[in-house]
A and B are shown apart, each in its own frame.
Chain A
Amino acid sequence: MIRMTELSIGQEVELELGGKAKVAGIIGSGGQGTVYLVEYNAMKWALK
């Protein structure tokens, strides 16, 4: 995510296209913020 908000596991994030991505875990964090593992449309994605 761009800005400093922390997301919690299970939290749902709405997509502009429609539909929601559900936070499943944290992949990593670096200088530009945290990258989360999410589930969307039955597939795993990375959310930044």
Chain B
Amino acid sequence: MKDPEQFKANIKRNISDGAPSNKFIWPRYLTKSMEDGTFGYLMEVKPDSFDSFVDILNTYKLKVDPLTGRAVREPVRFTDLKAMVTACINIANAFRQLHRAGKSYQDLNDGGFFINTDTGAVLVVDCDNIAPDGANFGIGGKPGYMAPEIVRGIAKPDTQTDKYSLAVVLFKLLFRGDPMEGEKVVKDVCLTEAAELKHYGSEALFVYDPNDASNRPVRGIHDNVIKFWRIYPDYIKDAFIKSFTEGLTDPNKRIIENEWQQLFMRLRTEIIACTCGRTNFTSMFEKQDSTTYRCPKCGMTFATLGFSNKEYRMPLYIGCKFYECDIEQNSDDFIGVAGELVENKLKPGVLGIRNSSEKVWNVKMPDNQFYKVDPGKGCPIWPGLEIDFGDVTAKI
């Protein structure tokens, strides 16, 4: 450890500053230093319902059987696609909060996150190295997650290097592989210090760099990346391409946290859960016309709702939701559900939207008149549906 005194002072400062939000498991109480300088801190216990990012990437966790003492593999998997995309929004949002507090993570890696695989809620742990932007207490980070300029030794960790690490974390969560590990790296075989300097620093090359195909993922080793790169829509892939081509050498070209947040909020809206069991993004559905999607597997069609504050449309299916930030111009709330598509309990087969928000909506009903819909009440879906939320309106 470079400077234990400074390190301790930083933890003390973090304790008094408090956590950026409840997404962080933050140091809360410092212990008295022992004679040899050993000290520690108390923090909240992580809830059992959260799994470590590492276990998610490995797709299993080891549980010790209390009877035999042997370790057993238990599968770890997101409950549904929405949970995984929500986790992405939360991770980007956590970093936004951290950076707005004037701090940077510095030692970002897969050990730093816990995710609830049912809801997509995220907890950032391992907050030892979080420090004011610009400060650095001897930690460089983990190659693979570290920005190339740090691997090369020409920069110290800060919020700009955090942005690179954030892109890596998001890539790993969605594509389940390393963005820099492809044919070029695997050919070298042995991860010597010089090889890491080369492949993650001076000669880092994105596996899907559009201008250089020499580091493409290798079948048999990087099957996840190969498979998932074909699934995600272009606006997501383009963000990663930018982060890992221009963003490799120019920190200012890296996607900022708020942009990631918006991109994933769109991705979440563009999920379709078809009744035939196929759940995927609209990019994997057929476009019947400019406002309708069609499932290639079963032929079911989905109408879409267009919001006045967005360029993209939301496909409608039972269980789909929109959020406070969708109906309110200045809202940042991407967790609070504002409306949900439900089946009428009294008239099965009739679909409608329930007002789960706290505002009264003005809705155009099948008789072409506008009526008020109170919170808790619903309105039927019909081809001419229009909803006035106040700042924002939506139309089929």
Q: A: which residues have CB within 8 A of B?
A: 1-3, 5, 13-17, 21, 27, 30-32, 37-38, 40, 44-48
What is the minimal beta-carbon distance from A11 to any residue of chain B, in angstroms?
11
With a cutoff of 8 Å between Cβ atoms, the chain B residues found around residue A47 in the complex are 31, 40-42
Tell me the dominant secondary structure on chain A's binding face: strand
For residue B346, CB closer than 8 A to chain A, the reply is no
With a cutoff of 8 Å between Cβ atoms, the chain B residues found around residue A16 in the complex are 29-32
| Docked-complex contact A2 and B4, CB < 8 angstroms | yes
B residues contacting the other copy or chain, number (CB 8 A)? 25
Q: B: which residues have CB within 8 A of A?
A: 1, 4, 7-8, 25, 28-32, 34, 36-46, 111, 126, 128
With a cutoff of 8 Å between Cβ atoms, the chain A residues found around residue B41 in the complex are 47-48
* A-B contacts, CB under 8 A, total: 68
CA distance A46 to B42 in the complex (A): 6
CA distance A46 to B40 in the complex (A): 10
With a cutoff of 8 Å between Cβ atoms, the chain B residues found around residue A17 in the complex are 29-30
CA distance A11 to B316 in the complex (A): 58
Interface residue from A3, A5, A14, A45 paired with B43 (Cβ < 8 Å): A45
Interface residue from B32, B36, B44 paired with A14 (Cβ < 8 Å): B32
Contact A46:B37 (CB < 8 A) given known A17-B29, A30-B111:
no
| Docked-complex contact A5 and B34, CB < 8 angstroms | yes
Contact A1:B40 (CB < 8 A) given known A17-B29, A27-B45:
yes
| Docked-complex contact B126 and A15, CB < 8 angstroms | no
Interface residue from B25, B38, B43 paired with A1 (Cβ < 8 Å): B38
Interface residue from A15, A30, A31, A32 paired with B29 (Cβ < 8 Å): A15
**Beta-carbon nearest neighbor of B127 in chain A:** A48
| Docked-complex contact A46 and B29, CB < 8 angstroms | no
| Docked-complex contact B38 and A48, CB < 8 angstroms | no
With a cutoff of 8 Å between Cβ atoms, the chain A residues found around residue B45 in the complex are 27, 37, 44-46
| Docked-complex contact B36 and A21, CB < 8 angstroms | no
What is the minimal beta-carbon distance from A2 to any residue of chain B, in angstroms?
6
Interface residue from B1, B32, B34, B128 paired with A15 (Cβ < 8 Å): B32
What is the minimal beta-carbon distance from A40 to any residue of chain B, in angstroms?
6
With a cutoff of 8 Å between Cβ atoms, the chain A residues found around residue B34 in the complex are 5
| Docked-complex contact B31 and A3, CB < 8 angstroms | no
| Docked-complex contact A15 and B111, CB < 8 angstroms | no
